[in-house]
Amino acid sequence: MKIYKNYNITVIGAGHVGLVTAACFSELGNKVICVDNDKNKISKLNKLIMPFYEPDLEKLVLKNFKKRLFFSNSLDYGIRNSQIIFIAVGTPPKEDGSSDLSAIEIISREIALKLNSYKLIVEKSTVPVQTGQKIKETILRYKKNNVEFDIASNPEFLREGSAVYDFFNPDRIVVGTDSKKAKEILKNLYAPLKSKIIITDINTAEIIKHASNSFLAAKISFINAVARICDLAGANVKDVAYALGLDKRIGKYFLDAGIGYGGFCFPKDLEAFLYISKKLGYEFGLLSEVKKINETQKLYFVEKIKEKLWILKDKKIAILGLSFKPNTDDLRFAPSIDIINYLLKEGASISAYDPKSNEAAKKIFKDNIYFAKNIYDAVKNSDCICFLTEWEEFKKIDFKKIKKLLKTPIIADGRNMFNRKELEFLGFEYIGIGT
């Protein structure tokens, strides 16, 4: 059996990326300190309470906790006791679309002041191109000794809902660095994953991440635009997408028409890429259109429901699925939020159910909507059911039972999960997107 080299690692940020990265590196045999400035989060993690739902994460944390995986609030402790420091803090969008990099700047200064031995500082957060350069300049400006350090960009491609699987089975690992030593360390660190490692300079690695997410968002908006033409012409977008996807140059993924993309990555990364492109002197008009299509897609869906129900005031709408995608409780930029707000504005009452994110949604909607215990509780006496997230649980629904519970058997399928003909055969009126 091949023995891999292990490292002392600190991961800064115990969020969807940081916590998964920390747990997975500890599983590979490294000693990992996961640092977060959210005291409540760290205190809960030290009691083995997970801050969010992610399949298989809890298992890994329980297995490695206090053997190779430690949680701390102290950045100082994390910096001093590691050779590799991954920065995995949030880079949220600002009003103007640019990324808020203030956490990364604070951490860079902190690292500069605490440099006690060689450190490899790795950007894992998604950042605009040239951020690595800024981190380096900041550390050089504030450091107090001659201790060496290197910077690398190692963008993360994991998907919430399958993050642990994605960590261990990446399509590729991107490492951007100008340092031979950093390159060797990261190659050794990732060697157990036996994945293709792409080595580039830092700027290129940073652009790879923004370009990847923007391209995926563009694919979704493209098929959503095609779906609208299908609606107008009486064609079926599912068949169009299937035929398109069989062309190897196009590929079958991310061609599902629906209510558009959401989540913490696509909307903000697209916005940040638009912003940085403009700042550098290029107006990325294609991405502006991708964004516009996505934003109007939610309203388009509500308009279709309105067309069917005529007046929404005093109608009861059952919302099935709130999270921006299945297998996560993450509601950040979830299309469900805008759709529910549109429906509420029209005077509809909402009864919602999500297998994992009811609790998180209560913080957003408070008492303005009813949170149901299960699917059947949600649909009782409703005028229409809207499917907004394609959870597996919904695919197994007993539609005959549902039909008896509904006031009027209307289904608005925001994810094109179901077959129109099958539901119409059961006596439902069906609203799809481009189908």
Q: Catalytic: 384?
A: no
- Compare residues 29 and 55 and give the one whose CB is closer to ligand NAD: 55
Q: What gap in Å lies between CA 288 and CA 217, rounded to an integer?
A: 11
Taking CB under 6 A as the criterion, the residue among 34, 84, 90, 230 binding ligand NAD is 90
Contact 132, 207 (CB under 8 A): no
Q: What gap in Å lies between CA 219 and CA 300, rounded to an integer?
A: 18
Question: Which amino acid type is present at position 71?
Answer: F
Residue 325 in the binding site for ligand NAD (CB under 6 A): no
Q: Which of 410, 331, 318 is nearest to 371 (CA)?
A: 318
Binding piece for ligand NAD, criterion CB under 6 A, among 85-93, 311-319, 372-380, 389-397: 85-93
Residues present in the chain in total: 435
Q: What gap in Å lies between CA 11 and CA 414, rounded to an integer?
A: 37
Residue 33 in the binding site for ligand NAD (CB under 6 A): no
Binding piece for ligand NAD, criterion CB under 6 A, among 37-45, 228-236, 284-292, 293-301: 37-45
- Compare residues 29 and 51 and give the one whose CB is closer to ligand NAD: 51
Q: CB 119 → ligand NAD: shortest distance, Å?
A: 16
Instruction: Classify each residue of 35-64 as buried b or exposed e, where b means 16 or more C-beta atoms within 10 Å of its C-beta.
Output: bbbeeebbeebeeeeebbbbebbeebbeeb
Q: What gap in Å lies between CA 78 and CA 100, rounded to an integer?
A: 23
Taking CB under 6 A as the criterion, the residue among 265, 331, 352, 372 binding ligand NAD is 265
Residue 101 in the binding site for ligand NAD (CB under 6 A): no
Contact set for ligand NAD, span 341-380 (CB under 6 A): none
Strands across the sheet containing 410-413: 370-371, 349-353, 316-320, 384-387, 410-413, 429-431
Contact set for ligand NAD, span 106-125 (CB under 6 A): 106-107, 125
Residue 160 in the binding site for ligand NAD (CB under 6 A): yes
Residue 207 in the binding site for ligand NAD (CB under 6 A): no
CB atoms within 10 A of CB 368: 11
Q: Sort strands 370-371 and 410-413 into parallel, antiparallel or unpaired.
A: unpaired
Q: CB 24 → ligand NAD: shortest distance, Å?
A: 13
Residue 270 in the binding site for ligand NAD (CB under 6 A): no
Residue 100 in the binding site for ligand NAD (CB under 6 A): no
Binding piece for ligand NAD, criterion CB under 6 A, among 82-90, 253-261, 292-300, 355-363: 82-90
- Compare residues 14 and 431 and give the one whose CB is closer to ligand NAD: 14
Taking CB under 6 A as the criterion, the residue among 4, 6, 29, 38 binding ligand NAD is 38
Residue 174 in the binding site for ligand NAD (CB under 6 A): no
Binding piece for ligand NAD, criterion CB under 6 A, among 6-14, 196-204, 318-326, 342-350: 6-14
Query: How many CA atoms, within 13 angstroms, populate the side-chain half-sphere of residue 221?
Result: 21
- Compare residues 112 and 369 and give the one whose CB is closer to ligand NAD: 112
Q: CB 212 → ligand NAD: shortest distance, Å?
A: 10
Bridge partner residues of 371 (DSSP)? 352
Going by the DSSP 8-state scheme, the letter that residue 3 receives in this structure is: P
Contact set for ligand NAD, span 140-159 (CB under 6 A): 156, 158
- Compare residues 160 and 383 and give the one whose CB is closer to ligand NAD: 160
Binding piece for ligand NAD, criterion CB under 6 A, among 10-18, 223-231, 378-386, 405-413: 10-18
Contact set for ligand NAD, span 395-434 (CB under 6 A): none
Taking CB under 6 A as the criterion, the residue among 10, 13, 132, 183 binding ligand NAD is 13
Residue 30 in the binding site for ligand NAD (CB under 6 A): no
3-state secondary structure of 175: strand
What sections of 55-101 are H helices per DSSP?
Answer: 57-64, 75-80
Strands across the sheet containing 31-35: 69-72, 31-35, 8-12, 84-87, 119-123, 149-153, 173-177, 197-200
Q: Which of 330, 324, 317, 353 is nearest to 260 (CA)?
A: 324
Catalytic residues: 265
Contacting positions for ligand NAD (CB under 6 A): 12-18, 35-38, 41, 88-91, 103, 106-107, 125-126, 156, 158, 160, 264-265
